Amino acid sequence: MKTKFLTLTIISLLTTFYPLPSPFSPNSYAQSTTPPSQTITPSPTRENNTVIPLTNLTLNILILLLLLILLVDTLVFSFLNFKSGKIGRVYSELFKEINKVRKEIESLGEKLQKLEKIERKIGEDYLSRKTTEIQLSISEIKNQIMLLKEAIDLKLEYQRTKGEIKPAEKGQIPHEGNKNWTPPTPQKEESEYSILLKNYRENPNSLFHNAIPVAMTKETLNNLVTGTWGNVIEFQEDNRRGDYYIVPDNMGKFYLFLNPNGLFNQHNLTLIEKSQVFQFKNTPHGSYKGKDITIIKPALVRQENQYWRLTESGEIEFPPHRD
């Protein structure tokens, strides 16, 4: 449109300096009837129709000006087209980057949701672990109270019978000569865990409702393989593959039982026998479920910071071997 406008403008200027003759004008008629030898002189009174003579130089300048304008317009048009294409490519790249950022934001949103789920699970596991620790602490406090009560009862009993007991002489038993004195009934060690053992044999799931699932630590396993464990066997909490369960009693002690749903193969049994977590009453043959192994006596453990350390071995018996 600009080129057309400029072309029309140049043509208008040319016609201004050098108008085309009209067939109906008097001058044209006169010019056509006048012989070539005669020259018609324009009237000096008609100033409005005065024609500026158009020389070859002026015409060349106008043509060059027209070509220059056309060239400039073409260059401007090409430059604008180039810029337009470049801007289009920039917009396309920006659109791709925006899509990429949008996908990254969506991916981050999904990761954030997963992290929130993991955080909730960790919080639940932490709460469950803390609840178990509190229950164990309460059980231990109850046991201490019972022991303190027994000590007070013994002291009161001693004070009631103090007058009837003769002072102990050298090499003499303090209650010797006291006819009314009856020796206390010794409490069997088995009675401390007999109830737990009975529950384990009848319904192990009820026994392990508040128990702590544990497994041997990696360090202990490595030491057993290399033979450098030094009689130190430690366990750590393991909710996924716990081979054992720690169950407290009412006396503040913690006993180690086999997981009744666990599978004990030749490799596991070799480590158990080597570590003396349980002493074998007979020789195992093959693999066993935990519920198929008879626990004669559970092992005894105590807590050492975040681990549990074996303090006394247990005893187990395997089913009779069938040929």
- Per-residue pLDDT tens over the stretch 116-155: 888 887 877 777 777 777 877 776 787 678 777 777 877 7
Residues 290 and 197 placed together within one structural domain of the fold: yes
How far, CA to CA in Å, does 79 sit from each of 3, 254, 298?
15, 88, 92
Flag whether 259 is in a domain.
Answer: yes
The confidence score (pLDDT) of residue 17 equals 52
**Higher confidence at residue 44 or residue 86?**
86
Q: Which residues contact 238 (CB under 8 A, 6 or more apart)?
A: 213, 214, 215
Q: Are residues 148 and 205 in the same domain?
A: no
C-alpha to C-alpha distance for 164 and 156, rounded to whole angstroms: 14
pLDDT value, residue 87: 77
Indicate the pairing of strand 299-304 with strand 307-312: antiparallel
**pLDDT of 210 over the 80 cut:** no
Indicate if 253 and 309 belong to the same structural domain: yes
Given a cut of 50, whether residue 39 has pLDDT beyond it is no
- Token pair of 175 as six digits: 């209650």
Contact between 257 and 228 under an 8 Å Cβ cutoff? The reply is no
Contact 132, 210 (CB under 8 A): yes
Mean pLDDT for 177-188 is 50
* Partners of 86 in the β-ladder: none
High-pLDDT (> 90) share of the chain, %: 21
In a domain, 283, yes or no: yes
Residues 202 and 246 in one domain: yes
pLDDT tens sequence across 75-127? 888 787 777 777 777 778 888 888 888 888 988 888 888 888 888 878 777 77
Is residue 312 domain-resident? Answer: yes
Token pair in block for residue 75:
């260059």
Residue 42: its H or E element: none
pLDDT at 249: 85
Share of the chain above pLDDT 70, in %: 69
More confident residue, 120 or 277: 277
Average pLDDT over residues 27-44: 47
- The Cα 133–Cα 45 span in angstroms is 126
Last residue of a domain, one of 92, 125, 143: 92
> Contact, 129 vs 237, CB < 8 A?
yes
User: For residue 312, which phi and psi values (nearest 5 degrees)?
Assistant: -155, 135
Task: Say how far apart CA 168 and CA 222 lie, in whole Å.
Answer: 56
Is 187 within a domain?
Answer: no
Domain boundary among 77, 92, 107: 92
Same domain, 266 and 298: yes
Domain count, the chain: 3
Q: Phi and psi of 193, rounded to 5°?
A: -125, 5
Residue 173 confidence (pLDDT): 45
φ/ψ of residue 260, rounded to 5:
-65, -25
Query: What would the mean pLDDT of 178-204 be, rounded to a whole number?
Result: 66
Structural domain containing residue 87: 4-8+51-92
Mean pLDDT of 214-237: 89
Q: Does 35 map to a domain?
A: no
For the whole prediction, is pTM greater than 0.85? no
What CA–CA distance (Å, rounded) separates 192 from 194?
6
Tens digit of each residue's pLDDT (9 = 90 or more) over 8-22: 666 665 555 555 454
Kindly tell me the number of DSSP H helices and DSSP E strands found in the chain: 7, 11
User: What's the distance, Cα to Cα, between the start and end of the chain in Å?
Assistant: 107
In-domain check, residue 43:
no
Return the bridge partners of 31, or none: none
Averaged pLDDT of the chain: 75
pLDDT at position 280: 94
Claim to verify: residue 240 and residue 197 sit in the same structural domain:
yes
Residue 311 is predicted with a pLDDT of 94
pLDDT tier at 314 (50, 70, 90 boundaries)? very high
Mean local confidence (pLDDT), 236-254: 87
pLDDT of residue 151: 74
Confidence band for 159, pLDDT divided at 50, 70 and 90: low
Distance CA 195, CA 207 (A): 10
Check the CA dihedral 252-256-260-262 and report its sign: positive
Residue 88 falls inside a structural domain: yes
Note whether 202 and 287 are same-domain residues: yes
In a domain, 171, yes or no: no
Do both 266 and 302 map to the same domain?
Answer: yes
DSSP 310: E
